[in-house]
Structure 1
Amino acid sequence: MKRRLSRHRQDLLDAVGELNSAQDIVRNMWNTVWPFDGGIVDEIGRAIGAINGAIKVFEDLRTAGETLKRGLRDVQGKARAGAVRSPHIDAFDAVLLAAAGIDGTAQEENGILTTAQLARAAEKMEALSDEDRARMQRLLDDAGSEAERAYLMKALAAGHSVDDISTFASAIRGKSESWLREHLSLVDPGSSGTVLVNGVELEQQNQTTCGSTSIMVARAMNDPLYALGLTTDEKGNPLSAAELRERFTDEQNRIHDSTNTLWPQSLGTSPWGLNDEMNEHADSFGTRYEWRIVDDTDAGSVNAALDDAVGAVDAGHTVPVLIGDSYPAHYVLLVGHEGDNLVFYNPSGEMTRVSEDDFRNGNVSALGYGRSSARPSRSRPAGSRSRSRTTCPPPAAR
């Protein structure tokens, strides 16, 4: 809508320019022929006035839209803070946790804790014994920064015990926010372009592991202990570039083995294999996944699926999506929703935005394919879906 308003506004501005030029020409000609009557010149003037009035309406709409956007951001911030409802987390701490962002202050999609994770952290805090709750509070009090505190709460939301979180707290205590970002948040949904982790591109390591890579990244985005295990050694020391690349490869292969016990690995990851692997870590995700087939020639099927997927992402969940040209061939991970854009992590190693209109129309060329042969599944949140076989080569655009 915003793009359409801007386009029409520009059309009106162009029309005014042309009418102004025409008015000058007509005035000179009319004054020469009939100097006593404004006639057509006055009519052109009124037309210009009407168009200028229409342009003012567009300007007012744009201003109102920006005001509404700011207001919605305020509402979103209050809603995120309100998600941390627990008598054991005071309102001030709730606001600080909600405001902690992967790259500084949380904006749009880049909060360390998603809204769903904030709510789960509050629930987990409530469910702890008095002794464990006191231990958890001491860990939070001893944290060196708000970002550090947010990652501790994220670990709690992911279902880890206070014992495990205590060990995790020792490993990250006093680390800079840039260190925490590099080792605990592999993907920032607010970013764009190539995804680098400590200088290493986060990408699928062979042509059949896009599904495995999507699972790995989804887990890392939800579980900071898992992310730390990918990026550091047993003593918590950062891995070298070569070691990190090898770690990513080993984990992708391990996941591929787990998801393809019967399905041939040469055909990539099946939707049901991906679905089962995600549900093995339901405590970490805070939800369960399901997959279903979507007919991309049926608007009703596509719209329902997209609405479910966007709803899941807006609540703070990641949603795997299977896409392709003539057949489903490549997994991507829906990780954010910004206005009219869907934010994807592409296992080719990129953060990519696709407009909702393009996705609804089957145009996912930005992700390296001409059409979307499959869509995210609905509810709890939705998992991936496929209409045919699931081989997974890297996108042709790479």
Structure 2
Amino acid sequence: MSSSKEQALQIVLDQLDVLSKLEWDPDTLVKAIDIALSVPAPAGNPTTIAAQSQSYGTRAQLAFAAGIDLTKMSASDLPASWRGQAAESALNALGALLNQIGMVKYAYQQGHDALDVWSRKLREAQRQDTHGRNQLNQARNATDGLKRQTQQHTYRPNIRAANMASTMALAKEGCRDLIAAVRTAEGGANYANSRFRTVSQLPRASQLVGPGIDRLTATTLVYSNLRILSSAAIAQASQQYARMSDADRKRFGDLVAGAQSPEEAAYLWDALGSGHTLDEISEFDKVIHPFGNDPQWLAKHLRPQLSSGTAKDGADSTGYLTYGGAAWAPGSVYPIYSQGAYGDCVAAATTMAMLNGDPVKMLGVTTGRGPAGYGGAAVDDDSAAAVQARLQSLYLDNHRAGQAADGRAVPDPQVGVGPVGNAAQLASLLSPITGSEYRLTNMETESGRRAALPEIQSAVAAGKPAPITLDGTVQAVSSTGDHHRPEVTDTAISHQVIVVGATDDRLQIYNPWGYTQWISTADFVKGNFGAIVATHGGTQANALHPREAFVPG
């Protein structure tokens, strides 16, 4: 969405374009120029901003140096000083501190880069603005000569016409420079704002608060494994912990204290943040505790890692989510996490986003055990085929619930859900783990997508996925008996995907066809979702375009 400054200047430029095709008098041009000159110049001091950028860069270097010192300590001094459980606990704490310092360095570096870009953009914008104002003032001064030429009837008309044309061209060019200055300044400011909104979600240990939680404990829990506890999970867990009775707090504390690793302890806090009761968390821990010192087992069974997949390349399984190293279960037509042959993309996408933030329910999918054990396969069968079977059962259960919310009396797995069912899925599956309500946002226009982008980036950085509805067509190719003339059928579809990851200039999108895909923020704003294309069970999706997004508050 263009700013009010840009809109005002564009109106003036449009008026000048119209005037240049007509007989115009100098006074009319002066009025238009005065309106353009009344638009404020880009405010701010690039030198001051650059100095703050340099300050952040210095702090990033200091954090890096502190990390080097801690690394040396953990590698030499500490093992020589302590033994046994005390040494192991200290090493875990040091490892977490190293991760935290790495995050501090990253945050300051992001601040440095953001302000550096802003200062350079602002300096360039002010140069453009000054140049444009000089041109407008020159054009304004030239109107005095045009007035005199109008009064001198003997003045040659061709010379006056040429002077009028050059004056108008000068005014137009000045107006264009002012528009460019506004765009440059606002582009730099928006870039910095977006970076700082994302970085603001990085400090996590300070969010884990409650009676009996000291800073080192919080740091160890949060930073031992950066993939476990999101900012949203920490905030939710802290609220749940604060509401516990003293007896329940002690009971939960005993579970955490008995964990075999910081990862196991973090998953217990994650379960608390997902809204589970203490009894459910205890049952959950009985299943995972024997594997508490096995980070690979925990990661495989408790987190689908939606935001860590590589980009799909369309040629093989690269980018498709894997389970135990496999993207497809033996004999399956569809990838393990895919929605399969059904029209339940909303349920499949939302369910996977839920599982990515709820280790208790993910355990129920991978093993059939725990308080959220799901059917569809034998209990304790954690094979790829069993996981896929449980997922399909869960997708369809949630899909039927969405259709029921829509008022559909007879569920149909081939038919999608409507807006009411979609909202119901978000309220029941995602809001409990994110602590946020979801707001429908129109994404059909570039201005709508540009406005939604920083909100989506900030939400995703906090661990709150953002669903997007896409419209497009699916192309099915079938044989007609003549291999030279296959039958091609195009069918209009709506398809839901979910933004699950973000970097400075890219968004990672999970497609319930079983893979993740990166797109640039520039393509996002332009509505170019052509990368979200795949062959899916014999059909080929054509370019898909965004219609709406559900943005967490």
TM-score by length of 2: 0.52
Alignment match, 2:482: none
* Stretch deviating more after TM superposition (365-374 or 124-133): 365-374
Q: Does 1:373 align with 2:499?
A: no
Q: Which of 99, 117, 121 is the equivalent residue of 2:233?
A: 117
Q: Which segment drifts farther, 158-167 or 262-271?
A: 262-271
Aligned residue runs from structure 1 range 138-177, under 5 A: 138-175=254-291, 176-177=294-295
Shift of 1:370: 2.3
Distance 2:551 2:355 in 1: 22
- Given the alignment of the two structures, is residue 299 of structure 1 paired with residue 446 of structure 2, yes or no? yes
Query: Is contact 1:302–1:375 with CA below 8 Å preserved after alignment?
Result: no
Structure 1 position 72, deviation (Å): 4.6
* Partner Cα distance (2:348, 2:224) in 1: 26
- Cα distance change on mapping 1:91 and 1:231 into 2, 3 Å: same
Cα deviation for residue 70 of structure 1 reads 5.8
Q: Considering only aligned residues, what root-mean-square deviation do their CA atoms show, in Å?
A: 2.8
Structure 1 residues 89-100: aligned runs within 5 Å? 89-100=213-224
How far did residue 244 of structure 1 move? 1.8
Q: Is the 8 A contact 1:121 1:157 kept in 2?
A: yes
2:437 to 288, 291, 295: 288
Deviations 1:38-67 (A, max 9, x none): xxxxxxxxxxxxxxxxxxxxxx99xx6997
Aligned match for 1:187, one of 295, 301, 305? 305
Residues of 1 paired with 2:499 and 2:389: CA distance? 25
Matches within 5 A, 1:199-210: 199=326, 200=329, 201-210=336-345
SS of residue paired to 2:340 = coil
Matching residue's letter, 1:177: P
* Amino acid of the structure 1 residue aligned with 2:242: E
Question: What is aligned with 2:204?
Answer: 80
- Matched-pair contact (CA < 8 Å) for 1:275–1:290: no
1:77–1:98 CA contact under 8 A, matched in 2: no
- The 8 Å contact of residues 306 and 375 in structure 1, kept in 2 or not, is answered as no
Query: Within 5 A, what are the aligned runs for 1:1-398?
Result: 69=106, 71-72=108-109, 79-101=203-225, 106=226, 111-175=227-291, 176-192=294-310, 193-198=319-324, 199=326, 200=329, 201-234=336-369, 237-261=380-404, 262=407, 265-281=413-429, 282-292=431-441, 294-296=442-444, 298-325=445-472, 329-368=494-533, 369-380=542-553
Change (3 A) 1:71 1:100: same
Distance 1:300 1:86, change over 3 A: same
Equivalents in 2 of 1:378, 1:209: separation in Å?
21
CA offset digits 1:271-303 (Å, max 9, x no partner): 3312112212432332222324x252x332222
Conserved 8 A contact 1:328-1:374: no
Counterpart Cα distance in 2 of 1:78 and 1:358: 25
Q: How far off is 1:87 after superposition?
A: 3.4
Q: Structure 1 CA distance, aligned partners of 2:397 and 2:249?
A: 35
Looking at structure 1, the residues matched to 369 and 204 of structure 2 have their Cα atoms a distance apart, in angstroms, of 34
Deviation, structure 1 residue 77? 8.8
Deviation at 1:315, TM superposition (A): 2.1
Structure 1 residue 122: Cα displacement: 1.5
| TM-score relative to the length of structure 1 | 0.71
Structure 1 counterpart SS, 2:531: helix
Q: Is the 8 A contact 1:212 1:255 kept in 2?
A: yes
In 2, the alpha carbon distance for the partners of 1:367 and 1:100 equals 34
Structure 1 residues 100, 210: closer, same or farther in 2, change over 3 A?
farther
- Matching residue's letter, 2:496: Y
Distance 2:495 2:202 in 1: 37
Gaps of at least 5 residues in structure 1 are: 1-59, 381-398
Q: Aligned pair in 2 of structure 1 residues 219, 167: CA closer, same or farther (>3 Å)?
A: same
Distance 1:126 1:87, change over 3 A: same
Higher normalized helix content (fraction of residues): 2
Q: Is the 8 A contact 1:215 1:274 kept in 2?
A: no
Residue 173 to residue 379, structure 1, CA distance change in 2 (3 Å): closer
**Residues in 2 aligned to 1:295 and 1:78: alpha-carbon distance in whole angstroms:** 27
CA contact (8 A) 1:88 1:125 kept: no
**Kept in 2: contact 1:124–1:156 (CA 8 A):** yes
Q: Structure 1 residues 78, 276: CA separation in 2 closer, same or farther (over 3 Å shift)?
A: closer
Alpha-carbon separation, structure 2, partners of 1:92 and 1:177: 21
State the match for 1:32 in structure 2.
Answer: none
Distance 1:188 1:166 in 2: 26
> Which segment is superposed worse, 69-78 or 227-236?
69-78
CA displacement 1:129-160 (0-9 Å, x = unmatched): 00000000000010011111111000000111
Residue 323 of structure 1 contacts residue 372 of structure 1 at CA under 8 Å; is this kept in 2?
yes
For residues 524 and 349 of structure 2, the distance between their equivalents in structure 1, rounded to whole angstroms, comes to 19
Identity of aligned residues (%): 27
State the distance in 1 between where 2:354 and 2:223 align.
Answer: 22
Q: Contact 1:308–1:377 (CA<8 Å) still a contact in 2? A: no
- The higher relative CO (CA closer than 8 Å, separation ≥ 6) is in 1
Give the total of aligned pairs: 310
Q: CA deviation at 1:265?
A: 4.5
CA radius of gyration, larger in: 2
Give me the whole-angstrom Cα distance separating, in 1, the residues matched to 2:390 and 2:270.
Answer: 23
